[in-house]
Structure 1
Amino acid sequence: MRPLKKAIFAGALLATSSFSHSGLIGVQHVVITSALAAMGNSEGYIQVGEFEAFETGSGINVAHQANGGSASSLSFWGGHPPMQAIDGDFSNIFHSRGNTTSEFLRVDFSAITELSSINIKGRSTGFNHRDLFNIEFFDASGGSLYQALNVDARNGLTTFGLPNTKTDPGSVPVPATAALFLVGLAGVTASQSRKTKKA
């Protein structure tokens, strides 16, 4: 294989690897709030029967407490603490004590991860009209990566896929782009050098 062709082939492999991800990259924690509270509705209690977050590739639910997930909140009602939202038991719920915009359910992962999708289940025993959520995804420094508004779990379990961080061509990492360019340049230089020697 000629040097230029080798360079193009190597560059193609590099470009392919730079697009190998297929989810939201760099997620450290998620914050769930009530969409109704944000609208000023007095029914803005947070009720979460279960929250699941699936790692890209492995499909592991990294939110589950058995996989290192942890949950916290501003308050909770009676015997419905935040950890009940990530315990794998769909029959119990987390329930906030308050109904204002200051209430939240936060789920932290044991490591920074790439997520492909999430599931969220609301309350199945009445009052499910409250189960409209805003869900925000954060990186390790507390920066917002993505926000999903008005996620509707009023009819049970809701699943939705997360955006592919690498979908936008403008999001291709600069180091990968530079490396691709250098590989191509090296191939052209080698090809020209070979032609000069033959002459």
Structure 2
Amino acid sequence: MANQPMDVITKVLEKVEEQVDAELSKLNELEEDDLERLKEKRLEALKKLRNRSRNVKESKKVVCHFYRDSTFRCKILDKHLSILAKKHIETKFLKLNVDKAPFLTERLRIKVIPTLALLIDGKTKDYVVGFTDLGNTDEFTTEMLEWRLGCGDFINYSGNLMEPPTQAKKSSTKFTKVEKKTIRGRGYDSDSDSEDD
């Protein structure tokens, strides 16, 4: 009878060991499955990157928008680019999230977001960094972006490349303001639009 408690303990220990082995086996399987899923996602991302690379090499003209989801100005630029992409089918328009492509972003020395990399025959020829070339304002027009891309022959631009589209609008606005000041009897030395008339 003295052996019976020992047999019971041994059986209990064997059961516990089986349960621990089963749990370890489940954890190992989960880890392998998780690793397999990560591997599949990574392979899919590499395939997409390879396809993008082929598209860039096959396309004569490419406009690549380096963006970040959290950057408001990227959304502004994206709105204008989507309009131009429909209009200029001779050019391939791409978006590249800088957080998902750090190697390429660093290699091309992209520091300011948003940035447009402008390519011809697979080679980077120019950049549009931020909104400086677009009037240095968030309210630039699609026509202004179209003009800027046309200046480098990245799209087939049909307007006058010698004058940005907003420049003509600004000069007519200035003329109107000067005329108002003259009509009100003010001189040209005051640029303020005060309400003390």
TM-score, normalised via structure 2 length: 0.24
- Structure ID, larger Rg: 2
Q: Which has the higher contact order (CA 8 A, sep 6+)?
A: 1
* More helix, by proportion: 2
TM-score, normalised via structure 1 length: 0.24
